[in-house]
Amino acid sequence: MVEAKVPMGKSPAKTRAKKVAVVGFGNIGTGVVELLYQNGIPRLKLVKVIDIDLKRQRPVTLPTRYLGTDWRTVAADPEVDIVVELIGGIEPAKSILSTALKNGKDVVTANKMLLAQEGHDIFDLAASLNRRIGFRASFVGCHSLIHEFRQAGAMARKFKRIHAILNGTSNYILSTMTREGKGFAEALKEAQARGYAEADPSDDIDGIDTANKIRILLGLISNSYHAVGAFPIEGIREVTSQDIQYATELGYSVKLVGVIEQSEGVFHVSIHPALIPSVSLLGSLEGAYNGIELEGEHGIVSGLVAPGAGTYPTAEAVIKDLLDIAEGRTMPMPVSAEPIVLGSPENVTRRYYLRFSVADQAGVLAQICNIFWKYNISIAGVIQKEAVSQGFVPVVMTTHLAREGDLQAAIEQVDRLEVARARTRIIRILKANP
């Protein structure tokens, strides 16, 4: 850790507090303002709060002199040391950060979408100006990992894999389906009623939010702000109570997992539902919590668990970034423009859970196994239930390690068989440690 640098002749106690302006006075902004203004944080001084709607009632009340509606006033104010952007979206958030950086200020943001999509421009600008960006709050549930990266330096990047649950909404829905036997639609409705899901939950349940966080994490790991190419993203809409029931019988939990696996400088990245051993750290994660499991180069596995969202967890992550800046600590931030090399998804080797919907007649398993033999896919186990309707019978298989491209090609042929009654459901099985 780099210690704060204090000018000659001054004691740390007399070092001037950093003046902070907050742009965005919504739920998270209110939490940050409350901590800075009402509670008071040594070495930090709130000087301005900007929002386009200052009439809305909020839990914290500020004197009029603190308030404004034009972000340009604080981005250009020479008295402001740090600008905190909490409005979300791409614009004007990108302009706020860029203008503040160009005017010699450090910045803090919770904007994962912006960093995932435009981070190459923002980090490039910050590096060229020798300014700092705090972004712990962009993925609250694993912001402690950023601290570990700062402590470990380059050693943090020598790892085999990261498996992460990074979306509290999806984890809450899947946990409810598992615990109460509810279907996806019913579990989603409950999550919305309890405030764990937005009215439009698409970004959460379709894996977009997790993908944004994985892009930010990949930039940290690779030390590159170069735009990350496309990788597979699959959400949880197609996960059924049947799949969860069968997974439970097999000793697994179904989770939405962000995957980064590294081999010789090539990254295999994906977002998808996965079967994880129920007794593992990630497999046992309930409710709206986030978690990360990281396996180092020597096979040592470590994990982190934290609330996935919420006003105060996010606000506290912002405060930690502000204190790092105020106290002169080194901020973990990608500083290279080197391309990030992504491996082909077809070459990934995994185990698989497969649920077939097939005609209830003799010889069906033989037809499937014959196709699998042609693609060198070995079956680890089979569960065949009684027919749930006159139209089909569910057959569940798990495989040994198989190449993704081979598996997809085999399933394409299986789904064309006359005995197939519906598209085969594919869920990856991920290695996990208790």
Confidence grade of residue 346 (pLDDT, cut at 50, 70, 90): very high
Domains of the chain: 12-142 (3.40.50.720), 154-305 (3.30.360.10), 348-429 (3.30.70.260)
213 is catalytic: yes
Predicted confidence at residue 424, as pLDDT, reads 97
Calculate mean pLDDT across residues 315-319: 92
The answer on pLDDT for 259 being more than 80 is yes
Over residues 42-98, the pLDDT tens digits come to 999 999 999 999 999 999 999 999 999 999 999 999 999 999 999 999 999 999 999
User: What pLDDT sits at residue 11?
Assistant: 41
Give residue 366's pLDDT.
Answer: 95
- 85: nearest Cα among 97, 70, 73, 68: 97
Over range 387-402, report the average pLDDT: 87
pLDDT of 3 higher than 60: no
With 70 as the cut, is the pLDDT of residue 1 above it?
no
Q: How confident is the model at residue 423 (pLDDT cuts 50, 70, 90)?
A: very high
Is the pTM higher than 0.85? The answer reads yes
Identify which has the larger pLDDT, 20 or 333. 20
pLDDT mean across residues, the chain: 90
Model pLDDT for residues 131-154, shown as the tens digit of each residue: 999 998 887 656 666 666 655 555
Average pLDDT over residues 241-266: 95
Question: What is the pLDDT confidence band of residue 9, given thresholds at 50, 70 and 90?
Answer: very low
Residue 170 has pLDDT above 80, yes or no: yes
| Confidence at residue 145, expressed as pLDDT on a 0 to 100 scale | 66
Inter-residue contact 225 to 119 (CB < 8 Å): yes
Answer yes or no: is pLDDT of 29 > 60. yes
Among 401, 351, 392, CA closest to 250 = 351
Catalytic-labelled residue, pool 48, 112, 213, 320: 213
Tell me which of 70 and 39 has the higher pLDDT: 70
- Please compute the mean of the pLDDT values over residues 23-34 and round it to a whole number: 94
Q: Which amino acid is at 87?
A: I
Could you give the CA distance from residue 96 to residue 80 in angstroms, rounded to a whole number? 13
